[in-house]
Structure 1
């Protein structure tokens, strides 16, 4: 059912996968993955009567890989979401994001409620909730230390050393070896890992979005190593519209991999 596509915008061509016909749903992957991370959900959404599109985002698509870290500012990433929707002819669309893709989703939904019908965020809570927890909760401060490490100039060398041992460890050994190998191969291409890390290097001070007014589904796994319960449970404060929080037991930072059927069912229930 899945079709590989290219979506051409003024910034360049985004690679992606798509399936189905009907109401459009755009899915944004996290670090350091790609559109392929959403294969199960894309198929499930298509079967449920939706037009699902997952894209390799800025830096992950070779056709949209600027060298300047400033070109990865969140405003540029939100602009990509709208440009992709425009290229597809979507006036409004449902938005799903994981990890940094969820961060882009929060920003897009907050700034453009006229375009985003609903938001589903996996793992990453509203950025204000995460920032507040990192300031006030010692456990979250420890969990967020990797964000500083990713900004260091030596990050590429350290992540790719010893057959990319550190990069492979980012996946917590929960993904199929074939998927990890694919991502490592992609990020070993010239400038690819730097582009992915530029998401974290684009701004010294995080830009925080307003509260979100569109309907929100937030999914968080109890075994998430990057986001603790303080940030997850406080996310509701930053959702002014209908809000549903789902805690997934024994699920890691990557719910779409650990519990693909459950995540797909929750997404479909949220959309309907």
Structure 2
């Protein structure tokens, strides 16, 4: 069977940008980025996975691809984000090794729970199973760490603060461990490109998706959490395994910040490969 490279993907009337690299004959690792980044967050991980023999497909998700920016918070419900990825996997034509960081992990959990037939293995990075995340509110400081989720529910104001108040966005991301070079990429790819409001739309659509990934996953899974993550408490990572009914492992990166794909690509590629090989 001839394998064709994928550079764009059409679904739900939207056009998604895709980066398809590595050996065409390799098993597919599908990579989902988080907020506030695009698929470029995987740039250091991709060649390492390609060297392991995997074909990598990195998707610029709904709101991030210029051709996939519908208006309104209802357009960013988690079930729609999951459907976008399911559609792409079905086009690939075979189950994939699914990897998601941050919001990409939220989506990857949704896909793994809803369509385990499409997922060979799952590696979630930073964000645990949504039910574990919510349960951690009761046993940790996670609710306080998640203040920005409530802030992003406000219309217009978050965008005004980020774009009109000098230095606020830079200081916020620096406090999470993001360096200046990475912030410049965020500024160009998210703020200046017009992706900011759609990206915040993920948070606004979250409260409209109460059933997202409610069930347990039956996909072999590794969850990766970093001890220097200022947004996510360890409690959620520790609870994550309770929601997987398949081989499961928790990997803790001591001292690493939230931005694992950019700052710890070698170790992350190793973890993804270990899970994919089973």
- What is the TM-score of this pair, normalised by structure 1? 0.92
Residue 268 of structure 2, aligned match among 257, 263, 269 = 263
CA distance in 2, matches of 1:138, 1:270: 29
Q: Does 1:192 align with 2:195?
A: yes
Q: Does 1:27 align with 2:31?
A: yes
Secondary structure in 2 matching 1:147: helix
CA distance in 1, matches of 2:192, 2:42: 22
The structural deviation recorded for 1:46 is 0.9
Give the equivalent residue in structure 1 for 2:94: 91
The structural deviation recorded for 1:249 is 0.3
The structural deviation recorded for 1:191 is 4.5
| 1:124-166 alpha-carbon deviations (Å, 9 max, x no partner) | 00000000111x1351111111111111121111122234532
Give the equivalent residue in structure 2 for 1:110: 113
Q: Does 1:55 align with 2:45?
A: no
The structural deviation recorded for 1:107 is 0.7
Q: Residues 174 and 74 of structure 1: is their aligned pair in 2 closer, same or farther, counting only changes over 3 Å?
A: same
1:49-198 aligned within 5 A = 49-87=53-91, 89-134=92-137, 136-153=138-155, 154-163=157-166, 165-166=168-169, 169-170=172-173, 172=175, 174-189=177-192, 191-198=194-201
CA distance in 2, matches of 1:168, 1:196: 19
Q: Does 1:219 align with 2:224?
A: yes
| 1:4-31 alpha-carbon deviations (Å, 9 max, x no partner) | 9323334322113231121111100010
| 1:170-210 alpha-carbon deviations (Å, 9 max, x no partner) | 25474453332122122224742110011011143533421
Secondary structure in 2 matching 1:236: helix
Aligned residues: 268
Matched-pair contact (CA < 8 Å) for 1:24–1:52? yes
The structural deviation recorded for 1:255 is 1.5
Q: Residues 145 and 137 of structure 1: is their aligned pair in 2 closer, same or farther, counting only changes over 3 Å?
A: farther
Output the aligned Cα RMSD: 1.9
Q: Does 1:235 align with 2:237?
A: no
CA distance in 2, matches of 1:122, 1:261: 14
CA distance in 2, matches of 1:224, 1:42: 23
Q: Residues 41 and 203 of structure 1: is their aligned pair in 2 closer, same or farther, counting only changes over 3 Å?
A: closer
Give the equivalent residue in structure 2 for 1:13: 15
Question: Any stretches of 5+ residues in structure 1 without a counterpart?
Answer: none
Deviates more, 1:256-265 or 1:164-173: 164-173
Question: Moved runs in structure 1, 4+ residues, more than 4 A?
Answer: none
Secondary structure in 1 matching 2:70: coil
Q: Residues 203 and 120 of structure 1: is their aligned pair in 2 closer, same or farther, counting only changes over 3 Å?
A: closer
Secondary structure in 1 matching 2:43: helix
CA distance in 1, matches of 2:235, 2:179: 30
- What is the TM-score of this pair, normalised by structure 2? 0.90
CA distance in 1, matches of 2:186, 2:206: 25
CA distance in 1, matches of 2:176, 2:202: 23
Secondary structure in 2 matching 1:186: helix
Secondary structure in 2 matching 1:114: helix
